[in-house]
Chain A
Amino acid sequence: MSQPHRINGGLTDRTQALHFTFNGKAMQGYAGDTLASALLANGQRLVGRSFKYHRPRGIFSAGSEEPNALVELRRDAHCEPNTRATVAELFDGLEARSQNHRGSLEFDLMAATDLLSPFLSAGFYYKTFMWPKAFWEKFYEPIIRASAGLGRLSGQSDPDFYDKGFLHCDLLVIGAGPAGLAAALAAGRSGARVVLADEDFVLGGRLNAETMQIGGQMGSAWAAAAGGELAAMGNVRLMPRTTVYGAYDHGIFGALERRTDHLADTTGAPRQILWRVYARRSILAAGATERPIAFANNDRPGVMLAGAVRTYANRFGVTPGRRVAVFTNNDDGWRTATDLAGKGVEITAIIDTRKIRPLASIPGVVIMTGAHVTGTAGRKGIKAITLNTGQRIPADCLAVSGGWNPNVHLTCHQRGRPVWDNDISAFVPGGDLPPGMTVAGAANGTLTLAAALKEGHATANAALKSLGFTPSRSQAPVAEDEPRTLEAFWHVRAGRGRAWLDFQNDVTVKDVKLAHQEGFRSVEHLKRYTTLGMATDQGRTANIPALAIMAECTGKTIAETGTTIFRPPYTPVPIGALAGRARGKDFRPYRLTPSHKWASENGATFVETGNWLRAQWFARPGEKGWRDSVDREVRMTRASVGICDVTTLGKIDIQGRDAAEFLNRIYANGFAKLAVGKVRYGLMLREDGIAYDDGTTAHLAENHYVMTTTTANAVLVFRRLEFARQCLWPDLDVHLISATDGWAQFAVAGPNARALLAKLVDAPFDISNEAFPFMACASLSVCGGTPARLFRISFSGELAYEIAVPARFGDAMIRALMAAGKEFDAIPYGTEALGVMRIEKGHAAGNELNGQTTALNLGLGRMVSKKKDCIGNVLSERAELNRPDAVRLVGFKPVDRAESLAAGAHFINRGDPADMDHDQGWMSSVAFSPMLGHSIGLGFISRGHERMGEIVRAVDPIRKREVEVEITSPHFFDPEGERLRV
């Protein structure tokens, strides 16, 4: 359990040892370690296999840009693949496993793929697997998928919890390095509401990785003190472990907070929270990412970014190697050598590509300037490096620095393009930033400490002023600027072997050259042809070197070559976090009818209609299937009385001096003269003349109506009415409010409907046919004083009413209806019986009002009043909609009554081929009619109203069925409507 690579110093807590396993091997680290630092401390250099060639790979970086060290964490359903070891916080009991190998990590059988690399260069998919075409899906793709890849999902449902939330602030500071901390301090002290988010679990950014001082204090100590000051401010919200991954419109940012990923036991708390942050201003202080230099076999475990090597030594007290060499094109790389040497680590060489005077002299170190590393030795870990001089130098760690790229990603999320800065040979934010955003520190190309602190401070003060705050009088923290000169150097031409750019997707310098040679020269084409930058790390360390090589090939500058666009997310966001708590039953809200409790107690089977759960049928003991229940419900309703909860129909309360005129313009048929106490069926058209929705509207009192809509369209119709009221006719005095949920409404249908209701309606209200005829409505009271509304309307074709009471009485009302109905054998019926009865009556419903049919098609052409103006009136007169051969809604019966019909079948004349040219129309609704004893259907067929008695074929090629049907009236049952007017 020793940690051979642990050295003195660092910010880990040596008093708190943590035990973990890697590929089953027990290891130990300390509180404050990442999995990566703990692995390195234990001397574990090989941590994974590359995506395509299964090359051995080691930890490359110390941050979220890590391309190599992807591991699986935890076990079973909790297992999360593709986790970057460099950002995974160590905890006691952590289980980690390497991924993408067959057999052990050390002896991956798939490593043979590497031998095939000459055949697997950029674009090999397109070249190799062209033929035969049918082989792609069944043969090539499964093989490629099996051999290339990342970690594996457990295949089980994710047992963890996720949540979402909303945050609001004056200033969002993204990144808590020196610039971010300086900005947050300035803003916090001024009293502004500040959110400071950082992806790391310790605030300070590179201050924790370097040995620089601020105000005479170690940078890390200053950062800790600054964090303490900020934490004490009530107006500042500190959010460590939080990645701001996207900049969206109107100053809205997406942020992923990892709440319990660093804990062994999450005890049911959300693992991660996806925050939507509303920020009036934002400061991007996301720092910079170091980039490598490409040379042959630069992907061996032990080759690392120079800044990362410093991080491991200074922050974690871990040396990645015993004999460290440095390869750099800038001053920064030298600090890796001096810092590590200062901690007693042997430095074997410093190789600088620049012809400069050495910046440091360390006894016993080979210092070469104007030189290159041309290759490495050591299969599963570097053992030595070779120089262009032919010299071979032993090293088990090579720290490489090619300069730093500002993390400009979030500046580009709204199509802003970064601009090239020759001074630091990197892209810096362009002028076209997301609204309210400014950039400070290394993210802005301000790469030195004192300048970054000053810029953070000044940027915050400028943002505060623009918001009307008075900046505090505090000064920017004082530090010294470190040397940071650089000469661009991208890749070493000499050397044998592949020089790697994108470690995660295995893209080499040669691949970029090949893409250029084959004409894929635009950076966007380069990306897609080679897959450069398309892996989970989004090419954070690979893109700029690859662009530089493409620029070399084309003879252009990097600025002219440009960069691919950055899109959210900055780092991967788990799907679980995007789903949040919306899963399973709670994926969407659900709505319950007032009789839901009673229905559940009485054997109802429920069906989702929109968000509603409605009773579909009520099974009784002995019934063998749903048809038994539905047939019985229809027969018993038509024989005596049935009750159905129709609360789900939309109810819109309409009031105003101009309410009648408003309705007259909304509906295609006339409403101006509807008397108080009367209900009328109404049909709405779309602007283009197609039928939109139908329902009834009751005139309750002067200037007061209540409209019903179909269940499905309740919200849409309300929205449409609001639009008409506010935008089309703002001069009308008309007011709308939804009353759908306010009233529990029940259809009471059947010959005994009146007798049943008579027992509930309070005296002296008279519901006799004479006093309360078909299409009457009234406000009254029931059951000894409960206010109610009664409508004499019928969807079933029976003598029927709809009775509505305030929703709080709905449960009591269904019980009262059933109790009062006992003597009549009253039964509840569900949506299936409702549907059967409406088809028996030829009433159109959603299947008929499907957005393709007109009033004429529906047989309601005469309802469209030509004497008034209404929505859809004019365009309903288009010639094409009024062709003599237009389809008409009619009924269909199978010629052989034993046959069943199927909705969706198309009508073909006898003797015609069954194809689109001979299509006559379609079947829209079908049911078995218990009253007629056979299957019936409603459908649309050309000139249907003129073809009664004709026999056509109902052809259903999908289900391979064909039935001969007779065209009939759509009114199958009680065609004269005698039952409903009694």
Chain B
Amino acid sequence: MSKSVSEPASEYRLHPMPFLGGYDQVFSGLSLREAVGLAIVSIALPRGNPAGPALEKAFGTALPEVGKSANAANDKYRLLRLGSEQVFVLFEHATADAESEIAALIGGAAYTTDQTDSWVALSVQGARVRAVLARICPLDLHGGVFAIGNVARTSMEHLGTIILRTDEDQFLLLSASSSAQSFLHALETSIRYTA
């Protein structure tokens, strides 16, 4: 068998396609937008080997409690504490090397996995956002219960969802990228039904 030598392959350069094609719509009292270019890297905290101090140093902020989020000191990264051993880092990052950036930043203190392509991210904002979400989200999103910065895993219309409150009337929703169309449909239907 002769040796195959790889040749420059850049003539086939690949261009990314957002899962919902960069969806961006304004409705009465509400806007719904796919958050394109949002990188997601998961951090798993090793057992029996506290990574907290190293991560605090890397991000310039203490790890938030489970169900809370925190911004890094430089405001670039947002840390979502999804479980006792799991943190998601969200940040604007256009290229497909988000994981290596976080891995380098934390210097091996914890395990990292690129999750950018596992999720479709939708930002929903507007005065009637809670009424819209009440049709599909089983969680209590009242401000006194689910404050700005709170984050939770839940399920909406049978789809696993991570919900983050980014402002009084704004939420970021993450759901599986393969079912992005169904997730969008769930939101669009709620918007139509609460119009």
Residues of A within 8 A of B (CB): 161, 163-168, 193, 268-270, 273, 276, 278, 581-582, 586, 588-593, 611-612, 647, 653, 655-657, 703-704, 731-733, 735, 737-743, 754-755, 758-771, 782-787, 805-813, 816, 819-820, 982
Contacts and interface: CB of A to CB of B under 8 A. Distances in A.
The SS class assigned to the B binding surface is loop
Contacts of A168: 140, 142, 145
Given A739-B113, A768-B1, A809-B14, A761 B179 contact: no
A761 B185 contact: no
B1 A806 contact: no
B96 A786 contact: yes
Contacts of A806: 16, 96, 114, 116-117
Contacts of A163: 135, 189-190, 193
B24 interface: no
21 contacts: A165-B134, A273-B135, A581-B189, A582-B157, A589-B179, A655-B44, A741-B177, A742-B116, A742-B117, A742-B177, A743-B117, A754-B4, A755-B4, A760-B9, A765-B6, A766-B3, A782-B14, A787-B97, A807-B118, A809-B17, A813-B14
A805 B157 contact: no
Give the 5 A-B CB pairs with smallest separation, nearest first. Answer: A784-B10, A735-B44, A589-B182, A168-B140, A807-B117
Contact of A766 (B4, B14, B44, B189): B4
Nearest to A591: B178
B91 to A, nearest CB: 16
Given A782-B9, A811-B17, A816-B14, A733 B46 contact: yes
A741 B179 CA distance: 9
Nearest to A163: B193
Contacts of A763: 5-9
Nearest to B47: A733
B16 A808 contact: yes
Interface in B154-192: 157-159, 176-183, 185-186, 189-190, 192
Given A589-B157, A655-B113, A808 B96 contact: yes
A612 B181 CA distance: 12
Contact of A611 (B9, B118, B138, B179): B179
A136 to B, nearest CB: 41
Given A739-B118, A759-B7, A770-B3, A733 B49 contact: yes
Nearest to A738: B118
B111 A656 contact: yes
Nearest to A586: B185
Nearest to A166: B138
B179 A591 contact: yes
Nearest to A805: B14
B90 to A, nearest CB: 15
Interface in B49-96: 49, 85-86, 96
Contacts of A759: 7, 9, 12
A784 B12 contact: yes
Contacts, number: 196
B134 A737 contact: no
B6 A758 contact: yes
Given A581-B189, A592-B181, A767 B4 contact: yes
Given A167-B134, A657-B46, A805-B14, A766 B6 contact: yes
Contacts of B142: 168, 193
Contacts of B13: 783-786
A738 B40 CA distance: 13
Interface in B1-44: 1-19, 42, 44
A768 B192 CA distance: 56
B147 interface: no
A430 to B, nearest CB: 31
Given A193-B142, A581-B189, A739-B113, A769 B14 contact: no
Interface residues of B, number: 64
A786 B14 CA distance: 7
A787 B115 CA distance: 14
Nearest to B190: A163
B10 A808 contact: no
A586 B119 CA distance: 20
A268 B136 CA distance: 18
Contacts of B48: 733
Contacts of B176: 591, 741
Contacts of A611: 179
Given A743-B117, A808-B16, A812-B17, 14 more contacts: A269-B193, A591-B176, A592-B181, A733-B46, A739-B118, A742-B117, A742-B118, A766-B3, A769-B1, A783-B10, A783-B12, A787-B96, A809-B14, A819-B12
B101 to A, nearest CB: 13
Given A742-B117, A783-B14, A166 B137 contact: yes
B46 A656 contact: yes
Interface of B: 1-19, 42, 44, 46-49, 85-86, 96-97, 111, 113-119, 134-140, 142, 145, 157-159, 176-183, 185-186, 189-190, 192-193, 195
B178 A737 contact: no
A891 B20 CA distance: 46
A364 to B, nearest CB: 58
Contacts of B193: 161, 163, 269-270, 581
Nearest to A820: B12
Contacts of A165: 134-136
Given A168-B145, A590-B182, A768-B3, A737 B135 contact: no
Given A787-B96, A812-B17, A737 B42 contact: yes
Contact of B6 (A164, A737, A761, A785): A761
Contacts of A586: 182, 185, 189
A582 B78 CA distance: 35
B38 to A, nearest CB: 12
A769 B181 CA distance: 41
A168 B134 CA distance: 9
Contacts of B44: 655-656, 735, 737
Nearest to A781: B9
Contacts of B10: 762, 783-785
A732 B178 contact: no
B121 to A, nearest CB: 12
Contacts of B189: 163, 581, 586
A786 to B, nearest CB: 5
B5 A766 contact: yes
Contacts of A732: 47
A278 B137 CA distance: 12
Contacts of B47: 656, 731-733
Contact of A742 (B114, B134, B181, B192): B114
A600 to B, nearest CB: 13
Contacts of A737: 42, 44, 86, 113, 115
Nearest to A772: B4
Contacts of B117: 741-743, 806-808
Contacts of B16: 806, 808-809, 812
A612 B178 contact: yes
* Most central of B3, B4, B85, B158 by chain A CB within 10 Å: B4
Contacts of A813: 14
Contacts of B6: 758, 761-767
Contact of A735 (B49, B85, B139): B85
A584 to B, nearest CB: 11
A819 B6 CA distance: 17
A251 B69 CA distance: 29
B1 A589 contact: no
Nearest to B134: A165
A815 to B, nearest CB: 9
A783 B46 contact: no
A655 B85 CA distance: 12
* Most central of B117, B119, B136, B189 by chain A CB within 10 Å: B117
A769 to B, nearest CB: 5
Nearest to B139: A166
B17 to A, nearest CB: 5
Contacts of B8: 762-763, 784
